[in-house]
């Protein structure tokens, strides 16, 4: 079998099963594990999968630039964002993470909804200016241009003084085994810190994030309480997530 053919079969298996193991692939294709690891390494370098210990997971497509992500799965993002906005009650303190899905969340807010929003995203803060009943607290720090959010020690210090009701966490991947992941180490630290200051953490998971993983782990699925997804999301994934105590809220198109 040609290397190109073997790689294509690996990707097809990864798509159908959600993960692959190097040892099993070695036995199936009758090649050494070193050969399989080289295949996985090259596929990972091309952004086709995310390598993990012992094998690989589907790579998230939500790690591209902010501008590119803004046009990725926009209708699905709008649907999960609208459902997320319904979870906010008047008078609450709500942390809103940076990201394209949370940007849609802001657009779905009722014009007269009164609550306090905490964010480290200048873009989210500016969008909330149009909502006069929303008190906005902007967390400072070093600007991470890729995601247009603040990170670093100053951001962590500001987060430590918050007690929030809700945190809308942005992720690039949510996988039953790999947990919650994102594409940057410092962003993962910020997300963990925010989650630790909220009574409830919610993920708005558009399809490109489901059953995928990125390089940096935010935490296990137990870190969140609720995930909002499209109604036709993979039933095996939904079962695996609910089995770990996470409430899955489905929205219909």
What is residue 50's predicted lDDT score, i.e. its pLDDT?
87
The closest alpha carbon to 184, from 207, 217, 142, 208, belongs to: 217
What pLDDT sits at residue 54? 87
CA nearest neighbour of 43 among 16, 72, 14:
14
Q: What is the C-alpha radius of gyration for the chain, rounded to an integer number of angstroms?
A: 19
* Positions of the chain with pLDDT under 70: 62-73, 253
Strands 198-204 and 226-230: parallel
The pTM (predicted TM-score) of the whole model is: 0.84
User: What integer pLDDT is reported at residue 38 of this predicted model?
Assistant: 92
Instruction: Report pLDDT for 62.
Output: 63
Query: Phi and psi (nearest 5°) for 199?
Result: -70, -30
């Amino acid at each position: 079998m040609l290397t190109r053919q073997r790689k294509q079969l690996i990707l097809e298996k990864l798509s159908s099963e959600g993960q692959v193991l190097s040892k099993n692939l070695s036995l199936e294709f009758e090649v050494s594990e070193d050969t399989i690891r080289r295949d996985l390494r090259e596929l990972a370098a091309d952004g086709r999968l995310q390598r993990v210990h012992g094998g690989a997971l589907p790579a998230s497509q939500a790690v591209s630039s902010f501008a590119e992500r803004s046009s990725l799965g926009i209708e699905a993002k709008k649907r999960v964002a609208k459902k997320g906005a319904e979870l906010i009650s008047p008078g609450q303190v709500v942390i809103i993470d940076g990201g394209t899905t949370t940007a849609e969340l802001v657009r779905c807010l009722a014009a007269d909804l009164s609550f306090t929003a905490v964010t480290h995203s200048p873009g989210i803060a500016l969008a909330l200016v149009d909502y006069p009943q929303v008190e906005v607290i902007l967390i400072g720090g070093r600007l991470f241009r890729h995601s247009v959010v603040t990170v670093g020690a100053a951001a962590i210090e500001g987060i430590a003084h918050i007690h929030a009701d809700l945190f809308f966490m942005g992720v690039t991947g949510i996988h039953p085994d790999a947990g919650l992941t994102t594409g940057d180490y410092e962003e993962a630290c910020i997300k963990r810190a925010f989650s630790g200051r909220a009574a409830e953490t919610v993920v708005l998971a558009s399809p490109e994030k489901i059953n995928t993983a990125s390089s940096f782990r935010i935490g296990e699925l137990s870190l969140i309480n609720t995930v909002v997804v499209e109604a036709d999301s993979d039933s095996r994934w939904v079962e695996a997530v609910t089995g770990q105590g996470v409430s899955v809220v489905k929205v219909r198109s």
